[in-house]
A and B are shown apart, each in its own frame.
Chain A
Amino acid sequence: MEIYVQLAWNILTLGALFGLMAASFSVIFSVTGVVHVAHGGVIMAAGYIFYSFVELGVPALAAATAGIFAAGTLGVILNILVYEPLRRRRRVGTGMMIASVALLIILQNTLLAVWSSQTRTIDLPFLHLPPYSVWGALVSPLSVLIFVTSTIMFLGIFWLMHKTRLGKAMRAVSDQEDVAEVVGINARRVRQITFFVGSVVAGVAGILAAMLYNLDPSRTVTYAVDAFSYAIVGGIGSIPGALFGTYLLTTLSTLGGFYGATAIKSVFAFLAAFVILLVRPEGLLGKKRL
């Protein structure tokens, strides 16, 4: 019995963490139209900066703030240096995606050069606290932190997108950039803010992931691919969709691994992704684009 409770809690934690990565990717994609795969690098950068500050003896919360702010800044810098110049030259779509893949590789190798390929482990007393026992399943304080933080972040994103003026402007730019400009919205500024917001959310995910999965520069690509595929399956540009897509695919891969073979557990998820995109190219909760 407790094995199933454990399985369920593991999936909840896993989905919350990767859902956050997918949602942050989706925010940027839906508003700016950039397939920002370099996002994986932003996620990892936050983790590494968090790690370095923790190693220096900075309190965990301050170190996390530094990591999150660094991620937000990095996102904005990438947008200013790469995506905006391409946009001015009307190189949207494929051009931007290629640029983004190049950025991903540059970021990964920068992490490799600065922090080396050695596995970095976050060492905080909090991470060594004994787990709670819930119906026989082990619930670590970290997994509770991941679940609670992610839930707050999701609600925050939803509130921002639907209850604030900024969110309204973001959705307007997302729907029709030209029309938004006509009614007086500064689309460039909105994109800038979007990159900051999306990268901050990515930073939070990066710090949680660093504590759960340790740090290695090659995670950059793993997280980029995961966030991208979950967001696409969930629905292009839909934040709840990103969460839904993540839960669907992580549940499939975890159960596939548990009942089938773990060596091919991601095959179960990607097979499902293939079928879903075949039937609904816009993703599960995505809206059709004209």
Chain B
Amino acid sequence: MNQRGNALVWVILAVLVVAGLVYWGTQKPAENNGVVENETETETERVEIPEGDLKIGVVLPLSGDAAVYGQDFLPGIELAVEEINAAGGVDGHQIKLVVEDGKCNPEGGAAAGTKLINVDQVNFIVGGACSGETLGFAPLANEAKVVSISPSATSPDITTAGDYTFRTAPSDALAGSIAADYAYNDLKAASAAIIYETTDYGQGLEKAFAARFAELGGEVVVDEGFATGDVDFTAQALKVKNKNPEVIYVVPNTPTAGIQVIKQLRANGVLAQVLTAEVLASDDILKDNPVDLQGVVAIEPYYNQESAKAAAFLAAYTAKQGNGPTFPFFAAGGYSDVYLLAEAITAVGYDSTAVARYLTGLKNWEGALGTISFNEMGDVVTQYAIKKAVDSRYEQVKVTP
């Protein structure tokens, strides 16, 4: 290329960069005029929402393996905001979302939380999706008295993460032991293997399952982890094959890893019953991998999809996106989280301590998850459904009390 051509390329590049910067500039949220004061008000005084839009932070994984969650939950969260705004907003203030990538890990969660709390000065956060990213920003958020509600963080550690950390997903302390109960009592398995991702989520379920299975009298013969991003699981598959357990509990953080683990177990001739958690309990995922996932039993939080608000949400989501959510429980959770915050703020005002107090112990709240209640630790109380992959859909085997 000649000198002139070169110059032209650089001019075009420069124009693109400037155009990009201008676009980015207009996308930035308007400056918050109101000053947030957490410390000064007294118990009874109601704090009004500052002038302008009501900013709510969102922390979801938008890149990497776990982007599948961000892409699935964000439309539900946006849907709630659109509906609330169309109905006049919260106390006349329009909700404005500030979305950050939590990357599904503690570092990403901390970075996203720092930005939302310090730069955007939000009082409320919906997220994160993963336990790791939620635990990443929880200390900062509790220190700054920022209320967060997660639709899907299920690690047992979230229970004790702080008074300002809530979730509409149940703790895995229960899910892991329900899986162990099912393996030992219903499947009559005396030996089990566990293959789990070495994340807050995976380790939480692994510990709960191992403890309960041993307590029941079963033996965990293989207990192997894998790192996020690993693609080859032949070593795990052969270890399992060597010990020939009756049931295998597979706990991946994301569907991609889970499908791969099961695929390689089968390819290496391991035919034992596979039990897994909610990550793979989606009909969409089963339709794409009918052969590998056939017969897999998944345990996921249960909710009544036929209740009026749940059905309305699923219909609105499908109308908006062209297809239903991959993870209906969690997507409905994200949608509900916005409504919970909006309702709490309408009831008690902008003060996050008052909102946290309102949410703690909230009983029989009607939303897209059916009827939910929070316990005094900020955890939601739910049931579990045990489902089995038959042909191209998960059939419900039973619902725990």
Contacts and interface: CB of A to CB of B under 8 A. Distances in A.
B229 A258 contact: no
Contact of B236 (A117, A221, A257): A257
Nearest to B234: A10
Contact of A118 (B234, B241, B268, B326): B326
B232 interface: yes
A265 B68 CA distance: 26
Interface in A110-158: 112, 116-121, 128, 131, 138, 140
Contacts of B267: 131, 138, 140
Interface string A26-41: 0000000000000000
Interface stretch (B150-158, B162-170, B252-260): B252-260
A216 B257 CA distance: 10
Contacts of B256: 119, 214, 216, 218
Contacts of A128: 291
A109 B226 CA distance: 25
A159 interface: no
Contacts of A58: none
A263 B260 contact: no
Nearest to A117: B67
Interface string A47-74: 0000000000000000000000000000
A257 B235 contact: yes
Interface string A246-275: 000000011111100111111000000000
Contacts of B227: 263-266
Contact of B268 (A138, A216, A256): A138
Contacts of B372: none
Interface string A203-222: 00000000001101111011
B230 A266 contact: yes
Contacts of B292: 121
Given A117-B67, A119-B259, A131-B267, A222 B229 contact: yes
Contacts of A253: 235
Contact of A261 (B9, B225, B291): B225
Contact of B238 (A108, A131, A258): A258
Q: Interface size bucket, A side?
A: 35 or more
Interface in A167-221: 213-214, 216-219, 221
Contacts of A121: 259, 288-289, 292
Contacts of B291: 128
Contact of A218 (B64, B224, B225, B268): B64
B322 interface: no
Interface string B200-237: 00000000000000000000000011110111111110
B71 interface: yes
B238 A218 contact: no
A115 to B, nearest CB: 11
B255 A119 contact: yes
B67 A217 contact: yes
B238 A6 contact: yes
A77 interface: no
B38 interface: no
Contacts of B236: 257, 262
A6 B6 CA distance: 57
A98 interface: no
Contact of A119 (B198, B235, B285): B285
B269 interface: yes
A10 B238 contact: yes
B65 A262 contact: no
A10 B234 CA distance: 7
Interface in B280-303: 284-285, 288-289, 291-292
A106 interface: no
Contacts of B326: 118
Instruction: Point out which of A116, A121, A253 has the most chain B C-beta atoms below 10 A from its C-beta.
Output: A121
A112 B238 contact: no
A3 B65 contact: no
Contacts of B285: 119
Contacts of B63: 108-109, 112, 218
Interface of B: 6, 9, 63-68, 70-71, 198, 224-227, 229-236, 238-239, 241-242, 255-256, 259-260, 263, 267-269, 284-285, 288-289, 291-292, 326
13 contacts: A3-B238, A6-B241, A14-B234, A85-B6, A117-B68, A117-B71, A138-B267, A213-B231, A218-B64, A257-B239, A258-B235, A262-B226, A262-B233
Give 3 closest A-B pairs by Cβ, nearest first: A257-B235, A263-B225, A117-B67
